[in-house]
Amino acid sequence: MSSDADLSLDRASLHAAYAAGRLRPEQVVALIHRRIATLGDPGIFIHLVPETQATATAAALPAFDPARYPLWGLPVAMKDNIDIEGLPTTAGCPGFAYVAKATAPAVLGLLDAGAVLIGKTNLDQFATGLVGVRTPYPVPRNAFDPARVPGGSSSGSAVAVAQGLATLSLGTDTAGSGRVPAALNNLVGLKPSLGAVSSRGVVPACRTLDCVSVFALSVEDAWAGFEAIAGEDQADPFSRPIAPQEPRLAPPIRRLGVPRRPELDDEAGRTAWAAAVQRLSALGVVVEEVDLAEFHAVARLLYEGPWVAERAAAVGEFALARPDAVHPVTRDILAGASRFSAVDAFRGLYLLAELRRRTEPMWSRVDALAVPSVPCFPTLADLAADPLGPNARLGTYTNFVNLLDLAALAVPGPFRPDGLPAGLTLIGPRGSDAALAAFGARFQAAAQPRLGATTARRAA
């Protein structure tokens, strides 16, 4: 077996080692626990499956058959607002915690495909935030710079994969929580079309917008995770059928729209974005500058409009009854819901419908959008000085996606000159998930072979 530091947990590497008999899943579980101890970051996991239990699960897997069990022996982690039978679900709030009576269908999809659960991960409380620091637990450390935010709300899920503690992890994405932490930790973040993955068994943030998302080291691994969890769920009223897809058969992306005036807050970010756009052009697509003003108007609705009240509909009663148990910033956000009436909610829906109609012509001009995943890379000190401003900035290119019923894929790109990760997000109409994945895999292979924060490189 390779040394602890050298072994990559990407699916191709693990399955090659399993097939050759050089490695067993039980050894991978032991290796991950050694890595956790060495890393010394107490903020990643809220609940770890005991090593003996995870080892027993790994040992009990059926014979290696990646055709039947495409995630065989792959270690996975789950954001702790997703239910797993017999384990506590905290949603980042100890006072809210309960022991789940059933396992969420998305989790079952991974486990039925042969994955091994390592633990449940930290998050911005009640999945409200894009920074990853709104938690009563220790804040997960950004995988590249502990002075920077890890990104949220799926902070622990992203850092776990970036640090080589899981092959895949599940997060959730309402405003960008499956994409922002991916960008800030050099990962792929797959945000499916709304309803393509069941959200049953997930503590809701905005139930009409919530998605279960996938973090992975590569687009191929993220797609394997998506295939395992996708599917209509008749018991979930927000589940919607989506046609079976396969990236290699998807319509090719030939025209990409990029922001005419990209919003980027520092020179390092602008340099990385320029390199990413250059790489896009080198892949043979037509890159066209477009005006995203209408998309940004939609984005502002998420926190400036009545969708804040939908967050209060999910956990507001608990927050009112136990304000002492709620993170101060989260409590203030939920309290803001009271300023919206039912009339405001309908007016918000009408405005969203108007803006959606005004954005629709974009999809006759381009096959997809390519945008910076994030416009800034805040420090922890920035958040201490201003808990709301940097969080709002991080949603510049993410907040509008679910409101407009779009699919998105965050992909690592050329690094910034300061050594921090950067990337872009591909965005397309509902159902374009496979096309985004096919192009995203090409871009990742050309732009940045490094996998997460590990020393492993992406195979050519």
pLDDT at residue 400 tops 70: yes
Helix H segments across 146-232? 155-162, 180-184, 219-229
Q: Which of 71, 350, 48 is nearest to 220 (CA)?
A: 71
pLDDT 10s digits, 206-232: 999 999 999 999 999 999 999 999 999
Two structure tokens written together for 269: 């970010």
Cα 368–Cα 371–Cα 374 angle in degrees, nearest 5: 145
Average pLDDT value for residue range 122-139: 97
Confidence of residue 1 (pLDDT cuts 50, 70, 90): very low
End-to-end CA distance of the chain: 22
pLDDT 10s digits, 280-324: 999 999 999 999 999 999 999 988 889 888 888 888 888 888 988
Share of the chain above pLDDT 70, in %: 98
DSSP state of 427: E
- The burial class, CB within 10 Å (0-12 / 13-18 / 19+), for 88 is middle
CA distance 1 to 236: 43
- Contacts of 284-287 with CB under 8 Å at 24 or more apart are 285/253, 285/254, 285/255, 285/256, 285/439, 286/254, 286/255, 286/256, 287/256, 287/258, 287/370
Unique residue bearing structure tokens 């050089």: 22
CA distance 5 to 321: 47
Unique residue bearing structure tokens 């922001």: 259
Cα 325–Cα 83–Cα 310 angle in degrees, nearest 5: 60
Distance from chain centroid for Cα 139: 17
- The amino acid at residue 73 is G
Mean pLDDT is lowest, of 9-13, 15-19, 370-374, 451-455, for: 451-455
For residue 191, the cross-strand partners are 408
Is the CB of residue 131 less than 8 Å from the CB of residue 149? Answer: yes
Structure confidence at residue 319 (pLDDT):
85
Is the CB of residue 156 less than 8 Å from the CB of residue 123? Answer: yes
Average pLDDT value for residue range 448-456: 82
- Does this model's pTM top 0.75? My answer is yes
Is the CB of residue 129 less than 8 Å from the CB of residue 174? Answer: no
User: Is the domain 11-447 a CATH 3.90.1300.10 member?
Assistant: yes
CA distance 367 to 252: 8
- Averaging pLDDT over each range in 317-321, 329-333, 379-383, which range is the top one? 379-383
Would you call 30 helix, strand, or coil by DSSP? helix
Unique residue bearing structure tokens 């209408």: 294
Contacting residues for 6 by C-beta, under 8 A, at least 6 apart: 455, 456
- The catalytic residue positions are 79, 153, 177
Backbone angles phi, psi at 258, to 5 degrees: -125, 155
Sequence spans of domains, the chain = 11-447
Is the CB of residue 91 less than 8 Å from the CB of residue 128? Answer: no
Backbone CA torsion sign across 449, 426, 276, 386: negative
Is the CB of residue 113 less than 8 Å from the CB of residue 196? Answer: no
Is the CB of residue 435 less than 8 Å from the CB of residue 250? Answer: yes
Within 10 Å of residue 455's Cβ, how many Cβ atoms? Answer: 11
Report the DSSP pairing between strands 286-290 and 368-372.
unpaired
Confidence of residue 448 (pLDDT cuts 50, 70, 90): low
CA distance 423 to 444: 9
Confidence of residue 380 (pLDDT cuts 50, 70, 90): very high
Two structure tokens written together for 29: 């579980």
Structure confidence at residue 24 (pLDDT):
98
